């Protein structure tokens, strides 16, 4: 997306509602708003994951930039304070672009300056590139670091806090805080440093206030860095937790640009919407332990949750052809659930798991089966997943003996979802046993699957309503869009007239469109019930994502809060929403290869051959 509308860019309210996100593959990230003014406690240039993918700490909140030209000062940053915005650098903003990386162009005093930001994959580091596009004369670029040194869920206070130890040598500024947090290194080649440690007070974060949380904090500055620049100059900066600060910004940008282009090439997807989803999906696939992979449920505040990880895996990894990552994610969660149910979540402080989840365990059957269909890798499924899946079915059998499965209040799943998944788990296990040569066991589990399907219909189908109903009793009301899962899981629970009625009931109430992970099940249901016409409608549905990718966190999709689950708050960028959009596009929209042109009446989200920020004259690094 390219945004040049001054009515948006120079309106601090509107520009601050547009966010950007860069993720580093470790669970750490950089994020902020188009205006430059932070609105969340989670916004910052460097949020490091000290125990990947969690243990996240916000080290560097921002770099306040000032252009000093012939005695005139032009401040390019912006921050909210009680009753004021200062400085007002958004008034100099003339362009924002989100392609491979987010970039910003400011114009002030005849200087046209572009800043590009990249989180470095596999490292707790953020690279920044400043390019002087126009300048009437040489000028100084002043950079004032504002540091937080806190957990990313917390807020910093100056009172009672010991200032970090400050050192500057050979273009590298280091700040080492007390209390065991990692040091912050800033590599600014050819810079001078004016030491002036101080605290800036009462930054305000409007989004936190709207959420009902504490929304003010104090930030520490060590002083000001200065670099002399002129027309055509390019300055590369690296902010890192540790020695990555001694790496060349040019090398880091080049490696990261190459990695992202390879993801697009590997996916085989050519439509611009699909390519945008490939890049968005990449942000949620992160490291757990030395060689494992997991899925973060959402940015900025969610951890890796079992249900979201298994639900999202097909779209994040299989639709994008990241089969090795899919295998690692499945292995990570299978080992975490060895001998029992999968964890509901891992906890932020790195001290273990937050309970167990039947919903996550049941979604693993779907993920494993779709992995097998996509890769043909029976050996991995049989050797590493099948023993756990057998154990899970044995646990589910005992739980289902008393009737339909009931979700716990903290599962984040409906009763229809749980029982549709249970029938699919049995059907998947039967198929896996058959492929593994255990034909008698396959037939036994297959009979269980058929019985579970009959019991599902008896428990949830309402002839009076002509659709599925969630709650028992005479006062049953139509179920919400979750009933689409009965049509969209690998093994449908309804067919014919009943399937058609469910789809019509959902559409009559409120069809799930983006941004919602249920847009994926809706697309699948359209195709299964309405054939070719349903496929055309699914494609149109998913094409509407173009507009949502240009809202909120630009380039990603949000997830709505679940009022029935306290552990499922909405998130500005949600893995399941991105994943199901990608899965629906590849499996149901039938829009690849070759791509389908978006309607001329809609503004497409463009991923073109992006400008290489490492091309051109050498970066100062």
pLDDT at 599: 31
β-pairing verdict for 461-462 and 216-229: unpaired
Q: How far is CA 273 from CA 312, 447, 533, 583, 585, in A?
A: 18, 42, 21, 13, 9
If we measure between CA atoms, which residue out of 123, 120, 245 comes closest to residue 173?
245
Q: What is the DSSP code string of 442-453?
A: HHHHHHHHHHHH
Question: Taking Cα atoms as reference points, which of 122, 119, 125, 131 lies closest to residue 21?
Answer: 119
102-108 and 111-119 as β-strands: parallel, antiparallel, unpaired?
Answer: antiparallel
What local confidence, expressed as pLDDT, does residue 621 receive? 39
CA torsion 148→104→231→129, rounded to 10°? 50
Q: What's the token pair of residue 209?
A: 């206030």
Question: Residue 400 to residues 377, 394, 404, 405: CA-CA distances in angstroms?
Answer: 31, 10, 6, 6
User: Residue 234 to residues 17, 69, 253: CA-CA distances in angstroms?
Assistant: 29, 17, 13
Quickly count: other Cβ atoms within 10 Å of residue 324's Cβ.
Answer: 11
Q: Give 144-178 as a DSSP string.
A: EEEEEEEETTS---STTPPPPEEEEETTEEEEE-S
How confident is the model at residue 310, as a pLDDT? 98
pLDDT score at 475: 63
Looking at residue 550, the DSSP 8-state letter turns out to be: T
Give mean pLDDT in consecutive 10-residue pieces for the chain, a chain of 621 residues. 94 97 98 98 97 96 98 97 97 97 98 98 96 98 98 93 93 93 95 97 97 96 98 97 76 96 96 96 95 95 95 98 98 91 83 84 98 98 97 86 74 89 98 98 97 95 93 74 96 97 93 81 96 95 90 92 50 96 92 40 37 45 39
Cα–Cα–Cα angle for 20, 154, 350, rounded to 5 degrees: 90
Confidence (pLDDT) at 476: 77
pLDDT at 425: 98
Distance CA 393, CA 362 (A): 9
> What pTM was estimated for this model as a whole?
0.93
Q: Say what the pLDDT of residue 526 is.
A: 96
Q: What is the pLDDT of residue 289?
A: 85
Q: Which residues 6+ apart lie within 8 Å of 210 measured at CB?
A: none
Residue from 279, 314, 312 nearest 296 by CA? 312
pLDDT of residue 341: 93
pLDDT at 569: 57
Query: Token digits for 481?
Result: 């869009």
Backbone angles phi, psi at 620, to 5 degrees: -75, 100
Best CA proximity match to 123, nearest among 169, 187, 78, 62: 187
Q: Which residues of 308-320 are buried (b: 16+ CB within 10 A; e: fewer)?
A: bbbbbbbbbbbbb
């Amino acid at each position: 997306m390219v945004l040049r509308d001054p009515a948006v860019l120079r309106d601090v309210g509107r520009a601050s509602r547009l966010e950007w996100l860069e993720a580093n593959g470790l669970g750490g990230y950089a994020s902020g708003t188009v205006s430059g003014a932070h609105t969340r406690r989670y916004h910052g240039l460097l949020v490091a994951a000290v125990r990947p993918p969690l243990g996240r700490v916000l080290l560097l909140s921002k770099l306040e930039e000032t252009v000093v030209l012939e005695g005139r000062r032009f401040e390019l940053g912006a921050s909210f304070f009680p009753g004021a915005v200062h400085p007002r650098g958004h008034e100099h903003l003339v362009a924002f672009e989100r392609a491979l990386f987010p970039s910003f162009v400011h114009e002030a005093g005849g200087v046209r300056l572009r800043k590009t930001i990249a989180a470095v994959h596999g490292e707790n580091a953020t690279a920044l590139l400043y390019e002087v596009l126009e300048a009437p004369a040489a000028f100084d670029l002043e950079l004032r670091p504002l540091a937080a040194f806190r957990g990313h869920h917390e807020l910093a206070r100056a009172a009672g806090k010991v200032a970090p130890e400050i050192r500057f040598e050979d273009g590298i500024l280091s700040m080492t805080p007390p209390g065991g947090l990692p040091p912050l290194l800033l590599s600014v080649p050819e810079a001078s440093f004016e030491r002036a440690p101080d605290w800036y007070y009462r930054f305000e974060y409007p989004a936190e206030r709207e959420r009902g949380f504490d929304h003010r904090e104090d930030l520490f500055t060590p002083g000001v860095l200065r670099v002399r620049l002129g027309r055509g100059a390019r300055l590369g900066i690296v902010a890192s937790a540790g020695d990555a600060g001694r790496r060349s910004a040019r090398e880091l940008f080049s490696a990261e640009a190459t990695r992202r282009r390879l993801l697009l090439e590997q996916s085989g997807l050519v439509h611009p919407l699909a390519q945008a989803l490939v890049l968005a999906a990449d942000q949620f696939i992160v490291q757990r332990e030395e060689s494992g992979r997991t899925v973060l449920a959402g940015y900025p505040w969610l951890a890796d949750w079992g249900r979201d990880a298994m639900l999202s895996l097909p779209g994040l990894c299989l639709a994008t052809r990241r089969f090795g990552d899919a295998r690692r994610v499945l292995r990570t969660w299978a080992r975490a659930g060895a001998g029992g149910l999968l964890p509901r979540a891992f906890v932020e402080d790195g001290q273990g798991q937050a309970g167990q989840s039947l919903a996550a365990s049941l979604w693993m059957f779907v993920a494993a089966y779709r992995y097998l269909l996509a890769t043909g890798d029976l050996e991995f499924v049989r050797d590493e997943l099948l023993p756990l899946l057998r154990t899970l079915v044995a646990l589910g059998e005992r739980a289902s003996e008393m009737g339909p499965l009931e979700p716990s209040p903290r599962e984040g799943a409906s009763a229809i979802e749980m029982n549709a998944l249970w029938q699919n788990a049995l059907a998947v296990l039967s198929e896996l046993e058959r492929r593994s040569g255990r034909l008698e066991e396959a037939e036994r589990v297959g009979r269980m699957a058929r019985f579970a399907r009959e019991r599902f219909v008896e428990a949830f189908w309402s002839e009076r309503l002509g659709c599925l109903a969630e709650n028992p009793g005479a006062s049953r009301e139509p179920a919400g869009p979750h009933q689409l899962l009965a049509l969209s899981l690998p093994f449908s629970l309804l067919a014919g007239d009943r399937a058609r009625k469910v789809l019509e009931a959902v559409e009559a109430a409120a069809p799930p469109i983006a941004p919602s992970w249920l847009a994926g099940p809706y697309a699948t249901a359209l195709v299964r019930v309405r054939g070719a016409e349903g496929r055309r409608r699914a494609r149109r549905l998913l094409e509407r994502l173009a507009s949502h990718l240009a809202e909120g966190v630009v380039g990603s999709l949000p997830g709505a809060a679940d009022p029935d689950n306290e552990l499922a708050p909405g998130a500005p960028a949600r893995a399941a929403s991105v994943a199901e959009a990608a899965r629906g596009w590849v499996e149901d929209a039938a829009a690849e290869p070759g791509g389908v042109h978006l309607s001329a009446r809609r503004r497409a989200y463009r991923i073109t051959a992006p400008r290489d920020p490492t091309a051109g004259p050498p970066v100062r690094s």
